[in-house]
Structure 1
């Protein structure tokens, strides 16, 4: 049903489930982000977004780690490919390449359907870029996080410095980004980077899958879009946006089904999106 990817794998939780897993799939390199990833990741998200069977996407990693950061071979290739005798053209090409990489991460926010990060093992550098763009974040207690870029003599440029302060606060984001220190899943919860921690990978997978099940598709995509849009709006503008949104989708079969299910004390059954 889904396309085949070099750097990713897509799995459906079960045949009748609307929960789909999108796994970084380069376990021999700690799921480091290859050049293929930055092309395939937005394509995979778009495929799941269009798939009526998919309601929620859980982003996880194959093997022992979530993501060990951008592959150093990718960084080296980027450096070599953008060099030319003309400094102006080198800089312009490098800027285009950075924007290309950024779009792969921003695709998470552009996906209509919720994307939940389930982190185990290492979540380093580019892994932080990815999870800060996700709608919800969970991890194991012993997961390891680091905003690693300053240790590589670069400024994080795929979204961490823009998104992390809104999640953990400006002061915490500054300290994490300037020190590149490693911190655990337990501290990530204290900082607010993750909402909840689980004892191990198996408990994480089970808990996150349960969280992801059975909400109104229209309500879920509406809530995600309104929250993301409201970050850049005043209160009055945000209220006007949600009024316009709900005037278009509030009177739906999902609303009728939700009210009926509550009245009959049963689990609601929503149509595919």
Structure 2
């Protein structure tokens, strides 16, 4: 395992991070079937390497991605999409759920994912970065929740994750219009944390941020992500109870003991997880 058609993986084991480049068949990284089939397999593969704590998702091509390749999708699944019987509708439901599974795997993974966007980020590409924990962009990035304009109710990730990232108002603006929004507007909305001059600087800074994140204890990164995911549909009081139980169970880790020793010895801690 580890050979993918749509993804190119560069591991930096010494820094405990990796960069995954979208590597579709065309210059704008249209999401052909390989993307949807391989994304959950990619997350499984990355998780098998316990040294990997943070992953940058980027593209070396002309665009980050223009989203679902509609022509291929229609040719491959047209009989299911237009099926007239309940059996065909169930097959289509299963297909949608299979396509969603990669994003769900990313959201539930202990790995911290950073999306690094340049040029086009349309439809399924927006779904992809919504499944990430942090999003960065080059100043030429252009983002669209395009499904409305192509007669689809967005069903992968964006309508479900965006309200928690940019708020209901901005999500409704993007969803109802299907319009293009530039990097600065997206940063004002809260979609992007930082904007950089160009693709090269974006990738450099994304990897630098990933290195900084991966230098922290893995057990703590996992716990932080677990808490933030839990808070998506729980009250602050419920969250405080949950994190109290978490720390009661997992605070006294090897890394925490290393921190205490390092503090006493006035040196930098060397974390193991």
TM-score, with normalisation over the residues of structure 1? Answer: 0.92
Q: Which residue of 2 aligns with 1:98?
A: 96
Q: Deviations over 1:127-156 (max 9, x none)?
A: 111111111111111111111111111111
Query: Which sits farther off after the overlay, 258-267 or 70-79?
Result: 258-267
Deviations 1:151-201 (A, max 9, x none): 111111101111111111111111111111111111111110011111111
Per the alignment, do residues 262 and 187 of structure 1 end up closer, same or farther by CA in structure 2, a change over 3 Å counting? Answer: farther
Paired position in structure 2 for 1:249: 250
Cα distance between partner residues in 1 of 2:25 and 2:267: 42
Q: 1:22 aligns with which of 20, 23, 29?
A: 20
Superposed CA deviations along residues 187-237 of structure 1, whole A, max 9, x for unmatched, are 111110011111111211121222122111111111001110121122232
Shift of 1:18: 0.8
| Structure 2, unaligned runs of 5 or more | none
The RMSD of aligned alpha carbons is 1.9
Q: Are the counterparts in 1 of residues 187 and 194 from structure 2 also a CA contact under 8 Å?
A: yes
2:3 aligns to what? Answer: 4
Give the 3 Å change call, closer, same or farther, for CA 171–255 of structure 1 in structure 2: same
Displacement after TM superposition at 1:248 (Å)? 2.1
CA drift of 1:53 comes to 2.1
Match of 2:135 among 134, 137, 144: 137
Gaps of 5+ in 1: none
Q: Pairwise mapping of residues 1-273 of structure 1 onto structure 2 (< 5 A)? A: 3-13=2-12, 15-26=13-24, 28-77=26-75, 79-82=77-80, 86-213=84-211, 214-261=215-262, 266-271=267-272, 273=273
SS of corresponding position for 1:116: strand
Shift of 1:79: 4.1
* Matched residue count: 270
The structural deviation recorded for 1:255 is 1.3
TM-score normalised to structure 2 length: 0.92
**Displacement of 1:256 after TM fit?**
2.5
- Residue 262 of structure 1 and its aligned partner are, at CA, apart by 5.0
